[in-house]
Chain A
Amino acid sequence: MLEITIFSLLNGTVYGLLLFMLSSGLTLIFSMMGILNFAHASFYMLGAYFGYTISSHIGFWPGLIFAPLIVGVMGALLERYALRHVHKHGHVAELIFTFGLAFLLEELTQFFWGTDQQAYKGPSLLDFPLFTLFDANFPAYKAFMLLISIGIFLGLLLVLTRTRVGLIIQAAITHPNMVNMLGHNVPFVFMATFGVGTALAGLAGTIAGPVMGTYPGMAHDLGSIVFVVVVFGGLGSLAGALVASLMIGIIQTFAVGLNYSVSDFLVTIGVSFPADHFLHDIWTMTLPQVAPLIPYLMLILILIFRPMGLFGTRET
Chain B
Amino acid sequence: MSDVKTPMLDVRDLHAFYGKSHILQGVTFTVGEGEIVSLLGRNGVGRSTTAHAIMGTVDRHGSVLFRGEELINLVPHDIARKGLGIVVENRDIFPTLTVRQNLLLGVKNIRKAGRWSMEDMFELFPNLRERADVMAGVLSGGEQQMLTMCRTLMGDPDLIIIDEPTEGLAPKIVAQVASLLEEIARRGVSILLIEQKLTIALKISHRIYVMGHGHIVFEGVPDDLIHDESIRREWLEV
Contact = CB atoms under 8 A, between A and B. Distances in A.
Contact of A181 (B86, B104, B110): B86
Interface string A170-189: 11001101111111111100
Contact of B105 (A167, A174, A185): A167
Nearest to A189: B77
Q: Which of A170, A171, A181 has the most CB of B within 10 A?
A: A181
B108 A183 contact: yes
A57 interface: no
A275 to B, nearest CB: 59
Contact of B81 (A164, A175, A178, A183): A183
A168 interface: yes
B105 A168 contact: yes
Interface in A217-260: none
Interface stretch (B33-41, B91-99, B224-232): B91-99
Contacts of B106: 182
B80 A182 contact: yes
Interface in B31-77: 55, 57, 75-77
A175 B92 contact: yes
A171 B97 contact: yes
A167 B101 contact: yes
A164 B110 contact: yes
Interface in B102-119: 104-106, 108, 110
Contact of A174 (B81, B88, B96): B96
B222 interface: no
Contacts, number: 55
Contact of B97 (A167, A183, A185, A186): A167
B20 to A, nearest CB: 15
B214 interface: no
Contact of A180 (B76, B85, B96, B152): B76
B151 interface: yes
A175 B81 CA distance: 18
B104 A167 contact: yes
A171 B81 CA distance: 18
Contact of A184 (B55, B57, B77, B92): B77
B212 interface: no
B155 interface: yes
Interface string A50-72: 00000000000000000000000
Contacts of B86: 181
Contacts of B94: 170-171, 174-175, 178
A164 B96 contact: no
B77 A183 contact: yes
A54 to B, nearest CB: 37
Contacts of B85: 182
Q: Which of A167, A178, A179, A186 has the most CB of B within 10 A?
A: A178
A182 B96 contact: no
Given A167-B97, A184-B77, A177 B105 contact: no
B104 to A, nearest CB: 7
Nearest to B95: A174
Contact of B92 (A167, A178, A186): A178
Contacts of B80: 180-183
A171 B104 CA distance: 12
Contacts of B97: 167, 170-171
Nearest to B51: A181
Interface string B11-39: 00000000000000000000000000000
A182 B151 contact: yes
Contacts of A182: 80, 85, 105-106, 108, 151-152, 155
Given A170-B96, A175-B92, A186-B77, A181 B108 contact: no
Given A167-B101, A171-B94, A174-B94, A180 B81 contact: no
B13 to A, nearest CB: 23
Contacts of A178: 88, 92, 94
Contacts of B151: 182
Interface string A151-176: 00000000000001001101100110
Given A164-B110, A175-B92, A180 B77 contact: yes
A164 B111 CA distance: 13
Nearest to B102: A171
Contacts of B77: 180-181, 183-186
Contacts of A175: 92, 94
Q: What 10 A-B pairs come out closest when comparing CB atoms?
A: A183-B80, A183-B108, A180-B76, A178-B92, A171-B94, A185-B77, A183-B81, A181-B76, A181-B55, A183-B77
12 contacts: A167-B101, A171-B105, A174-B95, A175-B94, A177-B76, A178-B88, A179-B105, A181-B77, A181-B88, A182-B155, A183-B77, A184-B105
Given A183-B77, A183-B80, 18 more contacts: A167-B101, A167-B104, A170-B96, A171-B94, A171-B97, A174-B95, A175-B94, A178-B94, A179-B105, A180-B77, A180-B80, A181-B76, A181-B80, A182-B80, A182-B152, A183-B108, A183-B155, A185-B77
